[in-house]
Structure 1
Amino acid sequence: MPETTQVVRDDVKLHVVSDGPATGPAIVFANSLGTDLRLWDAIVPLLPAECRVIRYDMRGHGQSEVPDAPYTMGQLVSDAAAVCDALNVRDALFVGLSVGGMVAQGLAVKRPDMIRALVLSNTAAKIGNKKLWQDRIDAIRKHGLDAMADEVMKRWFSRAFNASPAVKQWRDMLTATPVEGYTGICAAIAGTDFYTPTSGLRIPTLGIAGSEDGATPPDLVRETIDLIPGSQFALMRRVGHLPCAEDPEGYANLLNQFIKDTGHA
């Protein structure tokens, strides 16, 4: 059975779920903006049974607490470190999607004892620019998340998936995100440029992109992955920004091959 716990950092309670044996090799997942740890629900059962799979909701998302915005990337990275410290995680495989991938890059630089391998999914060292994110923050504060949800779904998913009933749960997840939490994370992304620190990483890294991703297009993902010598890049076809939701089996196959290649399990 999954083990649920709370980790407190900087007076913020973070919701954490752990599956698998406590002594197994750790895989830590970090979610994207506007989603929570349920993003990985379909992936967890497809991973090696001997692994300890840890997921958490970022501050302002899911069942984690919602401090006042704005947030900084330093806070998000420290949150991830606090989760790993609380669960005695070392030498983990860290899988981050979108802003979760930015957190992964920052954590690998800050705490190399925690991370032995990275999966940077649908992410980049720098996403957008300050004006783009400030415009989004202003629009959300004025009109709410529901008003922009349909446009977000177009960036997140392929046309076929977006036209299916399956998209509803993701739209609902987005619109249930507290405005303070969503805009807080937006501010953290806006202030982040990891090109220099990420180019200094020397650990096994797999980059994953979706061919229909309207948020972090494949060329942007590849540009970041290419900063890390010896890294691998995989392009998933006919999926968008959340390939783990659109094609869980294909996504898990990539993870499992990387786990095998790195000897993680």
Structure 2
Amino acid sequence: MQVLIRPWGAMHYFCDGAEDGPCVVFANSLGTDLRLWDPVMPLLPRGLRTIRYDKRGHGLSDTGPDAPITLDDLAQDAIALIEATAGGRPVVFVGLSIGGLIGQAVAAARPDLLHALILSNTAAKLGTAESWQARIAAVQAQGLAGIADAVMERWFAPDFRATPTLAPWRNMMIRTPAAGYIAACAALAGADQTQASAALRLPVLVIAGGADGASPPDVVRATADLIPGALWHLIPDAGHLPCVETPEDWAAAVAAFLQEHAR
């Protein structure tokens, strides 16, 4: 187990690959842990140093004190991880959903730390404060199991939901600590990177899923259009987690970008 001690507790992470290879940091979505990336790891270019982590309140990381957190707090955790693990080298940051918002915040706060940014199934702003407060209220009233089926409908296309492969991902979501899930929802309620992301000046790849019910492709495309020079890639049949549902298609797009921009 690899652990980075933060002011709020222990943050679990996992480094793999060549010690001196180009560093790629992966930030996962709400209600998932670093295993989100397992399906695509074997499909990425060889020679990379991959760094995956569980954001606070998820996976094997501590939840931290019962206090509000912001997107900036989550970005500071990612910045600390990069500084601790990348050996002073800039990284490519890959973020999905809330992980993509974290990546945008890191790029805005510390552009010196990033070579490039990959944003998957995310946007400069996701949902509204009211929608996230409603999600928090639902979790408080029903628990994560009570909202799981609705979340799976937003995460995955119907064909995937009809397979036994759905079960582990549903289990991962409902086994997330409720306090950690709620804290991340509260951070999303206040997150808006619109102005900051419009000012980004680094290579960016933006990926969307045509069947994504959590971050619809038009919302994702609007963020791609916001960032000067950003590349756009749509996976027509994928839902919110294309690295799970269509790993070969997702990895092909990411690999091509990494071949050009990971150094």
TM-score, normalised to structure 1's length? 0.96
Are 1:183 and 2:188 counterparts?
no
Q: Is the 8 A contact 2:117 2:204 kept in 1?
A: yes
Query: Does structure 2 conserve the Cα–Cα contact (< 8 Å) formed by 1:102 and 1:125?
Result: yes
Distance across 1 between alignment mates of 2:238 and 2:88: 32
In 2, the alpha carbon distance for the partners of 1:11 and 1:102 equals 21
Whole-angstrom CA distance in 2 between matches of 1:191 and 1:11: 20
CA–CA separation in structure 2 for the residues paired with 1:10 and 1:188: 18
Amino acid at match of 2:10: K
| Aligned position for 2:9 | 12
| Cα 1:231/1:153, change in 2 over 3 Å | same
What are the residue-to-residue correspondences of 1:95-134 with 2, within 5 Å? 95-134=94-133
**Equivalent pair of 2:154/2:214 in contact (CA under 8 Å):** yes
1:213 corresponding residue in structure 2: 212
Q: Following TM superposition, by how much is the alpha carbon of 1:70 offset from its aligned partner in structure 2, in angstroms?
A: 2.7
Match of residue 27, structure 2, among 24, 27, 30: 30
Determine helix, strand or coil for the equivalent of 1:193. coil
Q: How far apart are residue 145 of structure 1 and its match?
A: 0.5
| Contact preservation (8 Å) 2:45, 2:259 | no
Q: In 2, Cα distance between the equivalents of 1:102 and 1:128?
A: 12
Q: Which amino acid aligns with 1:36?
A: D
Equivalents in 2 of 1:219, 1:55: separation in Å?
28
1:238 matches 2:237? yes
| Structure 1 segments of 4+ aligned residues over 4 angstroms from their partners | none
Aligned counterpart, 1:76: 74
> Aligned partners of 2:208 and 2:99: how far apart in 1?
14
- SS state of the match for residue 202, structure 1? coil
Q: State the distance in 1 between where 2:88 and 2:116 align.
A: 13
Q: C-alpha separation between the residues in 2 aligned to 1:145 and 1:183? A: 10
Confirm or deny: 8 A CA contact 1:47 1:256 kept in the other structure: yes
> Shift of residue 89 of structure 1?
4.8
SS in 1 for 2:111: coil
Match in the other structure for 1:40: 37
**Contact 2:122/2:215 (8 A) holds in 1:** yes
d(CA) in 2 for partners of 1:126 and 1:92?
Answer: 23
Name the structure 2 match of 1:54. Answer: 51
* CA-CA distance at 1:153 after TM superposition: 0.2
Look up the SS of the partner of 1:14 in the other structure. Answer: strand
Q: 1:130-149 to 2 correspondence within 5 Å? A: 130-149=129-148
**Structure 1 stretches lacking a partner, 5+ long:** none
1:95-134, Cα deviation, whole Å (9 max, x unpaired)? 0000000000000011111111000000010111111111
**How far has the Cα of 1:139 moved from its partner?**
1.0
Aligned residues: 261
Deviation at 1:135, TM superposition (A): 0.9
Structure-2 residue corresponding to 1:228: 227
Q: CA deviation at 1:91?
A: 1.6
AA paired with 2:112? D
Which has the higher mean CA deviation after the structures are superposed, 62-71 or 224-233? Answer: 62-71
Describe the SS at the equivalent of 1:145.
helix
Once the 2 structures are TM-superposed, how far is the Cα of residue 69 of structure 1 from its aligned partner?
4.5
Partner in structure 1 of residue 153 of structure 2: 154
CA contact (8 A) 1:73 1:191 kept: yes
